[in-house]
Amino acid sequence: MLTPVRRHTAALALATAALSSGGALAQTAAAPAVAPVHTITANVGLFSEYLFRGIAQTDGKPAVQGGFDYAHASGFYLGTWGSNISWLEDFGAYTRSSLEWDFYGGYKSTFPGSSDWSYDLGTVYYYYPGSRNPGIVSADSWEIYGGVSWKWLSAKVSYNLQDYFGARPTGEETDGTVYVDLAAAYPVGETGVTLLAHYGILDVRHDADGDAKVSYDDWKLGASYTVPDGTFKGLEIGAYYSGNNAKSGFYTDLTGYDTGKDRGVVYVKKTF
């Protein structure tokens, strides 16, 4: 039989053990989750029009887009993405072509000693299945790229390894074409709103002069909102306005549509 003193000591020991156990459980629960080694995501979106580097790809019509991405914890990634297009038929280059199918891969990571600065190195191949008209150069295009980012600011340079989407304004090959992409995606606190800005510079190798000039600068301003919770959690809704100084002589298709004119785009997108 325990004396009052021993009962008090035993109770104190049990209480201390319980608190210690609870503290250990609390520490375990608060420990950060281990990042998965392999991550696979999918995305799908509906856009009022598909713009690529400020140039219309769907002749003012809507576009359905989507893709899959794989990422390894080491920083390596692979992905594929697709969208409907019409520009190859609209310009008379292809008799049948309604798809852009991209394949890409690379490596991205943060710089040693800094979580705010990161870099991205990779390659992307743009594939356009379809039937070309006689004498037309393939629109398929292959680029390598390198970029750096600081928090919500980024800069990226893409270098083309073959003809730039089939363009030969002077009859010479346009491999070696460079595109510079300066972008900002600023999150507004915890609102779910992100402000978007972009400025791009396209320098086409062996470019022409005057109305046949292919090189141009483009810009974009907009905003997006991502639903934080509920049934539509993760749904992104956005809008932006895009403009450029592209020459209409080169970028007006056979239907009379100026694919380089300034325009606005609205979209909804979901990542799974």
pLDDT digit string (tens) for 55-106?
999 999 999 999 999 999 999 999 999 999 999 999 999 998 999 999 999 9
Strands 38-47 and 63-72, bridge-based pairing = antiparallel
pTM: 0.86
Neighbour count for residue 96 (Cβ, 10 Å): 10
> Mean pLDDT over all residues of the chain?
90
The position carrying tokens 């035993």 is 10
Q: What's the confidence (pLDDT) of residue 12?
A: 36
Please state the rounded mean pLDDT for residues 111-119: 93
Query: What one-character DSSP code corresponds to residue 172?
Result: S
Instruction: Using pLDDT thresholds of 50, 70 and 90, give the confidence band for residue 24.
Output: very low
Provide the residue count of the chain: 272
